[in-house]
Amino acid sequence: MNTKESFLQYISTEKRYSRHTVTSYKNDIDQFMGWLEEVRPGADLVSVTHADVRGWMVSLLEGGASAGTVHRKMSALRTLFRYMRRHELITADPMAGLKLPKKPKQLPVFVAEDALAKLLDEFRFGDNFSGLRDRTVVEFLYLTGMRRSELTGLRDADVDLSAGQVRVTGKRDKQRVIPLAAGFVKSLRSYIEAREEKGFSGGWFFVTDRGNKMYDRAVYNIVTRYLAMVTTVEKKSPHVLRHTFATHMLNYGADLNSIKELLGHASLSATQVYTHSTFEQLKKIYKQAHPRA
């Protein structure tokens, strides 16, 4: 097993990074090694220098990559070289002292409350299983703030309707419990009944039209399709519903620590971005409403 393969196995099995993150890291490392082979044929990971990493970063920026993309790719390399140092494969970290491009501050995109109310209260998703399932997916993401991968990974045993709560397994297998609104519990019972009438059983809570485990792309397609009917925000992904959950909670007085726990964030700093989002909305309202603004 070479260094890259052992590293990927390490972050997958020991660090318990998500499948998506492991794939992303693999692609970034492969891209770097492909570039390195062009500029320094025969070079391997052990021989990588500070100049090599900086050269790739400059190449990415000149190729039109955003600062955010560069930060993500450099994060993959940083994690790799830390692993290599820990296992004494290299003596010096080629990432040391590397200055990354400044990322522009991007506020979370969220859907307006009235738009979501219109979708969930007025729009007809259809009375068949697919329609009921699609509505439940959208509402589940909005009412719990969970990630798409967490939703597709839900098992029947994770959803406790009698207790009105759902157990979510997040990043690195960290679990948290999220309460379910009483009205939503009733909707979930209807979904389960419809699923059972179709004869779909296997333990997965959300399933496709054929009864198989729901997959990430299907959830993405469901969310983007229905959000497009009520909002003009540029991004309409499942993660936007996660942002919307947090922003609406904050707008209605929830404290940051509570939102942090519900979202499954490892630190409060990741949650604080929503305070900026809310403040920008307040500034917009202030400018519209105050006669001297």
Catalytic residues: 147, 171, 239, 242, 265, 274
Structure tokens at 209: 């039209």
Distance CA 63, CA 52 (A): 16
Distance CA 58, CA 53 (A): 9
φ, ψ (nearest 5 deg) of residue 192: -60, -40
Q: Helix, strand, coil: what percent of the chain each, to 5?
A: 60, 5, 35
How many other CB atoms sit within 10 Å of the CB of residue 110? 25
Query: Can you say how many angstroms the Cα of residue 112 is from the centroid of all Cα atoms in its chain?
Result: 20
First to last CA, the chain: 64
Residue 138's nearest CA partner among 155, 153, 121 is: 121
Distance CA 168, CA 157 (A): 11
Torsion angle, alpha carbons of 101, 107, 108, 112, to 10? -160
Beta strands 165-169 and 175-179, pairing class: antiparallel
